[in-house]
Amino acid sequence: MPKFAANLTMLFNEVPFMERFAAAKAAGFEAVEYLFPYAFDKNELAQALKAHGLKQVLHNLPAGDWDAGERGIACHPDRVDEFRAGVDRAIDYATALGCPQLNCLAGKLPEGVAREQAQATFVANLKFAADKLKAAGLKLLIEPINSYDIPGFFLNTTAQAAAILDAVGSDNLYIQYDLYHAQRMEGELAATVQKYLARIAHIQLADNPGRNEPGTGEINYAFLFRHLDAIGYTGWIGCEYKPKTSTVEGLGWIKNLNK
């Protein structure tokens, strides 16, 4: 049986963010993830986790100006100092929250920058971050994202992510495998996750089309969950989807797994 973490950025949007911890616990979740903790006091977040008996399993490194449309800066040659400062900030938060792994969003290819230069910047930044996180006892992840939802995003496929892991050469860098993004870009979900299983530290889900909960689209999640169990995936699966109605009304897919 897979272990599911509630993505608080996407789920329980009916309530203010700090109240989503209680909502997640009430809905039966034992763990949470979300995009960014940095708008909140780390001690308040840690207290919310403790108060509701929740584990935090993932958050992202700082990713530039999100509200302005930035989706990461790790491949931006002119923002290396900002990236490195963000690594330190992320480690500070993750340590306070007991969060064991951090995701690094590559960002969009900057205008006027050759892919080769962006690749070299991304690799160098990942080497720096992987070493810093290893010293802190944390894992570093990178996530391929589909080019339909985020045109211009630098990292799009599992094979590309694996090649970047090879170029970085760290034993502390892994793939975050998002089933929704992977379905949109490449399909072959079962075969791909099995091929790269040793390099995948975290999985996220949403159905396609629509990015809603499992059972609303084309992905055979009942099969995939059995497959993940069969091949020995033991990590968390983050529920990073947009509820079609309300979060609680849309949780029937989890209850049905036990039938």
Catalytic residues: 143, 240
Cα(142)–Cα(130) distance, rounded to whole angstroms?
A: 11
Separation CA 126–CA 74 (nearest Å)? 8
Give the C-alpha distances (Å, rounded to integers) separating 77 from 80, 83, 112, 209, 257.
6, 10, 11, 34, 46
Phi, psi at 173, each rounded to 5°: -130, 130
Kindly report the number of other CB atoms within 10 A of residue 224's CB atom.
Answer: 19
- Cβ neighbours around 183 below 10 Å, total: 20
Residues 6+ apart with CB under 8 A from 230: none
What distance in Å separates the CA atoms of residue 231 and residue 105, rounded to the nearest whole number? 27
DSSP per-residue string spanning 187-232: --HHHHHHHTGGGEEEEEE--TTTS-STTSSS--HHHHHHHHHHHT
Q: Are the C-beta atoms of residues 133 and 142 closer than 8 Å to each other?
A: no
